[in-house]
Amino acid sequence: MIKSSSSAWARIKPHRIDLDGDRIVYRIAGKGPLLLFVHGMAGSALTWRFVMPTLAEHFTVLAPDLLGQGQSAKPRVEYSLGTHASMLRDLLDALGYKRATVIGQSLGGAVAMDLAYEFPERCARLVLVGSGGLGHEVSAYLRMLTFPGFEYVFPLFCTLRLRDAGNAIASWLDRAGVRWPPAAQEIWRSYASLADADCRRAFFRTLRDVIDLSGQAVGAGGRLNRATRRRPTLILWGEQDPFIPVSHAVAAHKAIPGSRLEIFEGVGHYPHCEVPERFIDVLVDFMASTKPARLAARSVRRRSA
């Protein structure tokens, strides 16, 4: 039975650290093998609130806000997968951790694969949750957002006043005992974050690095085998994911020897929020039934190739 609650999550306090002059906000709790959680686009560590408190009873759980998102800094820089992966590597260094089981959802899955490829010694296991980077298809809504100039029109539909009104309505419904479905909460939270101009700028830079009008523009491709070679890999997907089709999970499972595939029926893009009990059970079993990989770092020559 899941024990997570708002009070349990509140006890996992946010911390701040400067990495190369940029503020990174992260949450950490527990003891044991390290689980590094990587959220999706326009998200934050908050997306893991339903699973981190329970998992902290058995593991060390670490969830940062990626650069440009959440409470972390939003500088005018490149927001590529490599930028995010390097930040995660630097965060592990700063906190004194050599490796982690890396759990990435949506954009975070693509970041996790890039981390595993570029810094194989840091990734003991890989868990991909509704992951980007495994195929070309993506929702029409995300493709539409990449239309040239759309970032200048978007503020008309996502203002601070609309965000505040929506938050007020959500608060009123909560007091009345009406609960939004977890997936709806996540979608609203992502949308509401874009009312902030700095967050919106970082979002569109990130979006256009991975998606264009025809679909996902960045994929694991030939790197997939290198990123997962000799590394335990778990693929988790919602059967009804409206953003990234479940066919990507099936194809990735076939392409990754020895990988484990879990498809959650009746679940969308956020299985860790929609069915947290099952998510925790599958993840704990995966951890118990696999041995962490201990791989060598890539050579400087290969990294520069």
Q: Which residues does the annotation mark as catalytic?
A: 106, 241, 269
CA dihedral 63, 68, 73, 74 (to 10 degrees): 180
- Cβ–Cβ < 8 Å for 186, 270: yes
- Cβ–Cβ < 8 Å for 30, 256: no
Residue in the block written with tokens 């759309």:
150
Angle between helices 160-175 and 182-193 (to 10 degrees): 150
- Cβ–Cβ < 8 Å for 134, 248: yes
**Paired tokens of 194:** 């874009």
Query: 283-291 contacts: CB < 8 A, separation 24 or more?
Result: 283/35, 283/51, 283/55, 283/103, 283/127, 283/234, 284/55, 284/58, 286/125, 286/127, 286/232, 286/234, 286/260, 287/33, 287/59, 287/101, 287/125, 290/125, 290/232, 291/232
Residue in the block written with tokens 């039975």:
1
Reduced to 3 states (helix: H, G, I; strand: E, B; else coil), residue 153 is: helix
Q: How many CA atoms lie within 13 A of 40 on its CB side?
A: 22
Helix (H) or strand (E) holding 279: helix 276-289
Backbone torsions φ then ψ of 229, nearest 5 degrees: -60, 130
Distance separating alpha carbons of residues 229 and 166, to the nearest angstrom: 45
| 211 bridge partner residues | 216
